[in-house]
Structure 1
Amino acid sequence: MTAARAAAEILHRVPGFRPRVGIVLGSGLGGVADRIEGATVMPYGDLPGFPLPSVEGHMGRLVLGHLGGQPVACMQGRVHAYEGNGFDALKTAVRALKLAGCDTLVLTCAAGSLRVEVGPGRLMAISDHINMLGANPLTGPNEDSFGPRFPSMTDAWDPALRALMRRRALELNIDLVEGVYAAYPGPSFETPAEVRMLKVLGADAVGMSTVPECIVARHCGLRVVGCAVITNLGVGLGDGPVDHDQTLRAASAAASDLERLLTGFLDGLNIDEGRRS
């Protein structure tokens, strides 16, 4: 099993280290990994079956170490459906994190806002998703060792983890909204008509990733929490064109708030568990 071989390589690289939280960093957000303490860096090419990103802003490295007091395995970059290589590498990466010891997956991404009052630079906790990719990463024979044939997506984005993220944002004076994320195939940006459609469907933000990782993670029993960095208003909702350079610039500008939020959130995992014990 490729995921098992990748997990074994992760654990072999840092003897005695076992990550508890997996993190996936989206477009322009890779700098968050620079804050990981005692970091060991593994290029994806060293890990069997891991994805090899081809998009600017995705470095393709796994960073092991500690953030917010938690042992983490941080994916510095992801692959997307529009890159045309299917979901096998994505599934391998998420399942390898599970087999290496992770019980929680934190997903981040850049997204366009479908709400004019939520502009660039804001952070949005993902409360639910709409899969508009036209594909599901679990299509094909089910791997029973990871999860059931028909996994539930009720509360796919863990309510308790999201509540913790909201509390930490309030304590850190970080402006965090909450909303539904729609995954659109790309690589072209949405048309104004598509933006209007997504709003009617109930989406608050749109991007080209994140939902497949959530589906795979829930299938194999990982708890999932997500945060989108708003980089632009959807086409037709604001002035000016939307392009990838703008996405990277806006994501980088908001990365400091995301870094503080993730660090506080991870530190809060220990606090909350202490209250429950």
Structure 2
Amino acid sequence: MSAAEIIATRAPGFRARIGLVLGSGMGGFADTISEAVAIPYGDLPGFGRSGVTGHAGHLVLGRIGQVPVAALQGRVHFYERGDATAMQVPIACLKALGCDILVATNAAGSLKPDMGPGSLMLIADHLNLVQASPLFGIEGDGRFVDMVNAYDPELRVTLREQAKALDLVLHDGVYAWVSGPQFETPAEIRMLRAMGADAVGMSTVPDVILARHHGLRVLGVSAITNLAAGLGAAPLSHQHTMAEMAAASGRLSRLLRAWIEGLA
């Protein structure tokens, strides 16, 4: 059976409006979904299981308030297999479930001293520095996806309004995608700042390209876990990233829940 057929068997008739990709440290957001049906990635052909701490590996179907959602509790990263196409099936399944919006979250390093650990950054645009695409191998003119306004301007306005209502500071900036898994060097960070990047991370961009390929509107938010190499004194590690996500993920979860409930 295909992933779509298995999902239809486990959650008959379920249709979602919002798809979410829950990045490092954001998996707990899925625990707030009501009427939840959780399907392990291992049961779904084409859903690769991430080997990274903080990515549980479940497709969670249910509701946030009155809004039906489908949450990917973890993602496969380019650095795990060197494969930018790894999220093709999961994103296609979100589209097949009826989603018209994808919310992409991630943990990222800040290139702005005034946007420190615990901050939230609304993604306005991105830099695909890996220059790999999840559309490799797809045939036809549909692969030539327009990436102008890839991060939907109207959705960004509504999230800013929600952040203001909650008295949460929401920065705005450009996210740079690097392959990892090693962290960047100070010289690379200086280069990224010169190129106009405000935050850097190892995910999200392939998911966004796939979402736009399927016609989904995209909202992207980075939870800042550290100042990038050369900008802070703290040594960089995945353990440090997960520890700092504890504070940032609480703010991001609160913001996203209120925003989604407001769509009802």
TM more than 0.5: yes
Select 1:16's aligned residue among 3, 13, 17. Answer: 13
The AA in structure 2 aligned to 1:232 is: N
Matched, 1:268 2:262: yes
- By how many angstroms is 1:20 displaced? 1.2
Match of 1:228 in 2: 222
Match of 1:149 in 2: 143
Matched, 1:160 2:160: no
Change (3 A) 1:12 1:251: same
The AA in structure 2 aligned to 1:240 is: A
Matches of 1:29 and 1:14 in 2, distance apart? 23
Contact 1:105 1:224 in 2 (8 A): yes
- By how many angstroms is 1:240 displaced? 2.2
Change (3 A) 1:153 1:218: same
Tell me the secondary structure at the aligned position of residue 229 of structure 1: strand
Matches of 1:100 and 1:121 in 2, distance apart? 33
| Worse overlay, 205-214 or 88-97 | 88-97
Identity of aligned residues (%): 53
Matched, 1:67 2:69: no
Tell me the secondary structure at the aligned position of residue 138 of structure 1: coil
Match of 2:111 in 1: 114
Matches of 2:80 and 2:147 in 1, distance apart? 25
Select 1:34's aligned residue among 31, 34, 57. Answer: 31
Matched, 1:134 2:131: yes
Matched, 1:90 2:87: yes
| Worse overlay, 164-173 or 130-139 | 130-139
Matches of 1:254 and 1:41 in 2, distance apart? 25
Contact 1:22 1:72 in 2 (8 A): yes
Deviations 1:78-122 (A, max 9, x none): 111010152343011101110111111000000000000000001
Contact 1:164 1:268 in 2 (8 A): no
Match of 2:247 in 1: 253
Tell me the secondary structure at the aligned position of residue 27 of structure 1: coil
Match of 1:273 in 2: none
Change (3 A) 1:85 1:50: farther
Matches of 1:122 and 1:137 in 2, distance apart? 29
Residue segments in structure 2 that go unaligned for 5+ positions in a row: none
User: Any runs of at least 4 consecutive aligned residues in structure 1 with deviations exceeding 3 A, and if so which?
Assistant: none
Match of 1:176 in 2: 170
Select 2:4's aligned residue among 4, 7, 19. Answer: 7
Match of 1:77 in 2: 74
Match of 1:274 in 2: none
- By how many angstroms is 1:186 displaced? 0.1
Match of 1:100 in 2: 97
Deviations 1:166-219 (A, max 9, x none): 000000111111100000010000000000000010000000000000001001
Residue segments in structure 1 that go unaligned for 5+ positions in a row: 271-277
Tell me the secondary structure at the aligned position of residue 269 of structure 1: coil
Matches of 2:177 and 2:147 in 1, distance apart? 15
Aligned length, in residue pairs: 264
Tell me the secondary structure at the aligned position of residue 248 of structure 2: helix
Contact 2:86 2:134 in 1 (8 A): no
The AA in structure 1 aligned to 2:14 is: F
Matches of 1:10 and 1:114 in 2, distance apart? 40
TM-score, structure 1 as length reference: 0.92
Contact 1:11 1:100 in 2 (8 A): no
The AA in structure 2 aligned to 1:30 is: G
Contact 1:25 1:78 in 2 (8 A): yes
Select 1:237's aligned residue among 231, 236, 242. Answer: 231
Matches of 1:63 and 1:129 in 2, distance apart? 27
- By how many angstroms is 1:15 displaced? 2.0
Change (3 A) 1:226 1:122: same
The AA in structure 1 aligned to 2:146 is: S
